[in-house]
């Protein structure tokens, strides 16, 4: 028997859900009802079969209901389903039938009973996190979620109350994670919400033990990781990571990986210390007065003036930065530089494609028009002429660019066109990075094609860049050390190697000022 759309609509329990879905711009199709009900039933069946005491609720199955994901076309005959399904939309994951909540709580209580006075501090929280079936590095989130940051410890009662509420309301990892980290009443994560979690990683991950002796770098590392998280996960650029964005990203899987991987540099997404080192050193080179801000002239020096003046101006225009523009006019913070550098060095990344699109879209109408392309190419021509290279006339270049991008509407390049054509990096280099443009010009066009085809198994352009630069920076560092050992006296070395107190102070402020901006 098939369910009729009308019978679903009449079901009083479903009407609320329908209204909810409709408000969420999630257009509901009759075929989708059947799919959702079927997947819910399958998940229920599976969880009954697979249920073991103490296991955490499973993550939703791939076929489980997710908002805003269009259903896949299917020719399969829908299995007969009962009409008495009260609910099929589970933004917080599929609930597990009640009994194993109690089991999970018993185990947690037992774990607390082995701790002195049944009060866990942050160090003991790792054990509790594991008993609860959470990844190890959720411990700070669990600790703070139960009020631990106020008193320095969590009692068994406070923890169980928090945990009971959490597992009754949130049935998958992503919704639990958001619930633990978000501010009260918020269903999204802002930058500062990640600080306790990351501080705990800095304090306890075996790959970062050497940072214990350099506390002034903690906030710099944390700022970098937060920016990388938002760069990758916050696809909407809103500054607020939603549950849907979190589920679509690899962040929670990567966070769980930290528990198994002692070498944090192997975790190239978000956490690599080497990547942080490269980003920070690149910023330090440009920030000559070390006030943790750079201006247009500083940024223009990046990579030996490779980017055009016009695009640098646009980077500072507010098109790609948030925050109080009046207060920080003409200045770029370290956090903003993280976005610049990743965008600059990995133009195939979707956020990078958006970043440069925003910069090039001078009038902000969501389209790159011919006059905008000409505006940027003009400077490239001037540079080429100064180098004694005869530039291609704009009309000819335009033909090449349009051929590359193949926009849907003639004469108007959209973000969608650029993402679809897989050639955005060449398009952008042509418009505002002369060195890379000339480099592409000299390359075999088939080589470019090969890049595109083998894109997936290869490391990203960013990963490649960071690995190469790290090698170079380490080589430079050891060369400098050798030079200093040979030619300077001890006093000079000591002065060079200790950072002055006022810089440490500024570093502590770094996270706060950048994150609240």
Residue ranges in contact with Ca ion by CB under 5 A: 287, 289, 291, 293, 361, 363, 365, 367
Question: Which residue number, 182 or 319, has a Cβ lying nearer to Ca ion?
Answer: 319
CA-nearest of 349, 350, 365 to 414 is 365
Q: How far apart are CA 130 and CA 132, in angstroms?
A: 5
Question: Which residue number, 115 or 325, has a Cβ lying nearer to Ca ion?
Answer: 325
Q: How far apart are CA 296 and CA 255, in angstroms?
A: 35
Q: How far is the CB of 47 from Ca ion (least distance, A)?
A: 51
Question: Which residue number, 101 or 375, has a Cβ lying nearer to Ca ion?
Answer: 375
Dihedral sign computed on CA atoms, order 250, 252, 256, 261: positive
Question: Which residue number, 243 or 312, has a Cβ lying nearer to Ca ion?
Answer: 312
Residue 97 backbone class (left: φ over 0; alpha: ψ -120 to 50; beta: rest): beta
Q: How far is the CB of 276 from Ca ion (least distance, A)?
A: 19
Question: Which residue number, 22 or 503, has a Cβ lying nearer to Ca ion?
Answer: 503
Q: How far apart are CA 432 and CA 436, in angstroms?
A: 9
Dihedral sign computed on CA atoms, order 456, 459, 462, 465: negative
Question: Which residue number, 363 or 403, has a Cβ lying nearer to Ca ion?
Answer: 363
Question: Which residue number, 266 or 303, has a Cβ lying nearer to Ca ion?
Answer: 303
Q: How far is the CB of 295 from Ca ion (least distance, A)?
A: 7
Question: Which residue number, 119 or 358, has a Cβ lying nearer to Ca ion?
Answer: 358
Tokens 């799919």 identify what position?
Answer: 35
Question: Which residue number, 367 or 421, has a Cβ lying nearer to Ca ion?
Answer: 367
Q: How far is the CB of 242 from Ca ion (least distance, A)?
A: 28
CA-nearest of 383, 363, 381 to 372 is 363
Residue 251 backbone class (left: φ over 0; alpha: ψ -120 to 50; beta: rest): alpha
Tokens 């406070």 identify what position?
Answer: 158
The set of residues, in sequence order, having a beta carbon less than 8 Å from that of 351 and lying 6+ positions away, is: 231, 232, 235, 339, 342, 343
Q: How far apart are CA 195 and CA 283, in angstroms?
A: 21
Question: Which residue number, 142 or 368, has a Cβ lying nearer to Ca ion?
Answer: 368
Q: How far is the CB of 323 from Ca ion (least distance, A)?
A: 17
Q: How far apart are CA 42 and CA 57, in angstroms?
A: 15
Question: Which residue number, 147 or 323, has a Cβ lying nearer to Ca ion?
Answer: 323
CA-nearest of 176, 224, 183, 182 to 201 is 224
Q: How far is the CB of 368 from Ca ion (least distance, A)?
A: 6
Residue 170 corresponds to which tokens in the numbers above? 């949130």
Q: How far is the CB of 273 from Ca ion (least distance, A)?
A: 24
Please provide residue 284's backbone torsions phi and psi, each rounded to the nearest 5 degrees. Answer: -60, -40
Q: How far is the CB of 314 from Ca ion (least distance, A)?
A: 12
Within 10 angstroms of residue 265's Cβ, the number of other Cβ atoms is 17
Q: How far is the CB of 366 from Ca ion (least distance, A)?
A: 7
Question: Which residue number, 215 or 366, has a Cβ lying nearer to Ca ion?
Answer: 366
Q: How far is the CB of 117 from Ca ion (least distance, A)?
A: 50
Burial class (CB in 10 A: 0-12, 13-18, 19+), 142: buried
Q: How far is the CB of 375 from Ca ion (least distance, A)?
A: 10
Q: How far apart are CA 39 and CA 28, in angstroms?
A: 16
Strand, coil or helix: what is 189?
A: strand
| Per-position DSSP letters for 408-450, written without gaps between them | SBTTBB-HHHHHHHS-HHHHHHHHHBHHHHHHHHHS-HHHHHH
Q: How far is the CB of 373 from Ca ion (least distance, A)?
A: 10
Within 10 angstroms of residue 474's Cβ, the number of other Cβ atoms is 12
Q: How far apart are CA 120 and CA 483, in angstroms?
A: 50
- Asked if 430 contacts 379 with a C-beta cutoff of 8 angstroms, the reply is no
Strand, coil or helix: what is 52?
A: coil
């Amino acid at each position: 028997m098939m369910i009729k759309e009308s019978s679903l609509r009449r079901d009083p329990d479903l009407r609320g859900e329908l209204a909810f879905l409709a408000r969420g711009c999630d257009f509901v199709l009759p075929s989708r009802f059947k799919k959702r009900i079927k997947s819910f039933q399958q998940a229920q069946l599976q969880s009954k079969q697979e249920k073991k005491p103490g296991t955490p609720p499973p993550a939703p199955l791939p076929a489980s209901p997710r908002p805003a994901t269009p259903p896949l076309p299917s020719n399969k005959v829908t299995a007969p389903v009962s009409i008495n399904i009260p609910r099929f939309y589970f933004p917080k994951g599929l609930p597990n039938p009640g009994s194993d909540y109690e089991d999970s709580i018993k185990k947690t209580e037992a774990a607390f009973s082995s701790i002195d006075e049944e009060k866990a501090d942050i160090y003991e929280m790792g054990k509790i996190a594991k008993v609860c079936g959470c990844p190890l590095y959720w411990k700070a989130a669990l600790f703070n979620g139960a009020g631990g940051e106020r008193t320095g410890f969590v009692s068994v009662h406070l923890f169980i109350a928090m945990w009971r509420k959490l597992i009754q309301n949130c049935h998958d990892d992503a919704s639990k994670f958001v619930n633990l980290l978000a501010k009260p009443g918020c269903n999204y994560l802002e930058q500062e919400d990640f600080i306790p979690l990351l501080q705990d990683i800095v304090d306890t991950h075996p790959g970062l033990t050497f940072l214990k002796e350099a506390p002034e770098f903690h906030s710099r590392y944390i700022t970098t990781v937060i920016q990388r998280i938002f760069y990758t996960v916050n696809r909407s650029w809103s500054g607020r990571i939603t549950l849907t964005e979190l589920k679509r990203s690899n962040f929670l899987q990567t966070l769980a990986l930290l528990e198994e991987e002692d070498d944090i540099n192997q975790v190239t997404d978000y956490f690599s210390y080497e990547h942080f080192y490269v980003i920070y050193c690149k910023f330090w080179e440009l920030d000559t007065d070390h006030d943790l801000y750079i201006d247009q002239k500083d940024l223009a020096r990046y990579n030996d003036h490779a980017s055009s003046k016009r695009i640098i101006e646009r980077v500072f225009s507010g098109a790609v930065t948030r925050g109080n523009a009046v207060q920080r006019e003409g200045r770029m913070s370290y956090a903003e530089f993280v976005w610049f550098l990743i965008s600059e060095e990995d133009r195939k990344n979707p956020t990078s494609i958006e970043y440069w699109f925003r910069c090039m879209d001078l009038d902000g109408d969501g389209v790159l028009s011919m006059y905008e392309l000409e505006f940027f190419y003009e400077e490239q021509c001037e540079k080429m002429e100064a180098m004694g290279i005869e530039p291609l006339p704009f009309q000819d270049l335009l033909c090449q660019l349009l051929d590359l991008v193949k926009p849907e509407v003639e004469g108007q390049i959209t973000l969608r066109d650029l993402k679809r054509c897989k050639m955005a990096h060449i398009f952008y280099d042509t418009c505002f990075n002369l060195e890379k443009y000339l480099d592409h010009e000299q390359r075999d066009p088939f080589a470019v094609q090969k890049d595109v085809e083998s894109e997936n198994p290869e490391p990203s352009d960013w990963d490649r860049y960071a690995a190469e630069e790290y090698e170079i920076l380490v080589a430079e560092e050891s060369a400098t050390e050798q030079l200093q050992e040979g030619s300077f006296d001890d006093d000079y070395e000591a002065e060079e190697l200790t950072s002055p107190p006022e810089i440490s102070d500024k570093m502590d402020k770094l996270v706060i000022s950048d994150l609240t901006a």
